[in-house]
Amino acid sequence: MTFLDGKRVLVTGGTGSLGQALVRRILSGEEGQPSRVTVLSRDEAKQHEMRLAYAQQPQATDDIIYAAARDALAFHVGDVRDYDALRWAVAEADVIVHAAALKQVPTCEYFPEEAFRTNTGGAANLARAVREAGNVEVVVGVSTDKACKPVNVIGMTKALSERILVEANRHVPNTRLVCVRYGNVLASRGSIIPLFQEQAARGGPLTVTVPEMTRFLLSLDDAVSVVFAAMKHAAAGEIIVPKLESARIVDVAETIIGDRPAAIEYTGIRPGEKVHEVLVSEEELPRTVERNGFFTIGSVLEYAQEAPALREEYSSRNPTLEGERLRAVLAPFLSSGGGP
């Protein structure tokens, strides 16, 4: 038997890029066959698209909509800001992946209260619902490198959501609440690669903030694998951090351009952006160990019991992806005529 056999799985924000990739992998059975996977999101249109794709139907019919309750994949329209909607879904879940979030940096800067209500308030609602339900085995909160040494609203709100989920372990001894923290997911909705692809297809220019900006990169499949690892192996209150490579954003832009006659235009740093991201801060080093191929940050509420795995903060400052290695990582997103 594998981990998800017979489990009821809830994915908040399940219509997002990560959520959809996660649902596909869960339904594939690679971690066992769940009894049901429920997607909770406030986007009924994306839920509708997912339902049709799952049923392999080109359009909706009554039997597709009303028979959905008998399928392995179920949908619940609701918002993590709404405690009552979340409580209903949590009451019927054994395993939860909390991926619902407002994540675009400028949007969160201009609408900080909205980001707080979704990112921080949503985590608080989830922790309360899990505590009151008493039936959940594990919760995996999806965080971001921006939560480490945060300078922007998304980072601040996600840092608080990490702490809320970690602290909730004190009240639910039969539940493991853990987090995953990683960098930019390649080609996820709202990320830089779809923008660069569109700009390059129009002949440019490709807009880059500043030449020195760097970011950690990982694929959607790798992001899902990190969630699975945390689900299976993380102890209560731990944050799982994958070992990632980083690249300069201007190098990503040049690789997407290839041999097309498109220019790069520098636009300056947007509100709330960092030049370099950090996945493990100096303050977290004493409680960061290496386990199962990942860095694991121990709970801030407990003392570390093992020797630290890192000697300095884990930053994207020194890029490791350049030239042909970067091109290999970006190969799925390059046009057939593109060159290095």
Any idea which residues carry the catalytic annotation?
146
Residue type, 58: P
Please, are residues 104 and 157 in contact by the beta-carbon 8 Å criterion? no
Q: What is the CA radius of gyration of the chain?
A: 20
Instruction: Give residues with Cβ within 8 angstroms of 12, minimum separation 6.
Output: 19, 40, 41, 80, 86, 89, 96, 97, 98, 99, 100, 122, 126
User: In this structure, how many other beta carbons lie within 10 angstroms of the beta carbon of residue 34?
Assistant: 21
Alpha-carbon dihedral of residues 124, 126, 129, 132, nearest 10 degrees?
A: -70
Those residues with Cβ within 8 angstroms of residue 209's Cβ, 6 or more apart along the chain or in another chain: 249, 266, 267, 268, 269, 270, 273
Sign, CA torsion 205/211/213/219: positive
CA angle at 273 for the pair 271 and 278, rounded to the nearest 5°: 160
DSSP helix, strand, coil percent of the chain (3-state; round to 5) = 40, 20, 40
Closest C-alpha to 172, from 209, 127, 220: 127
* Euclidean distance between CA atoms 7 and 26, whole angstroms: 11
Backbone torsions φ then ψ of 213, nearest 5 degrees:
-65, 135
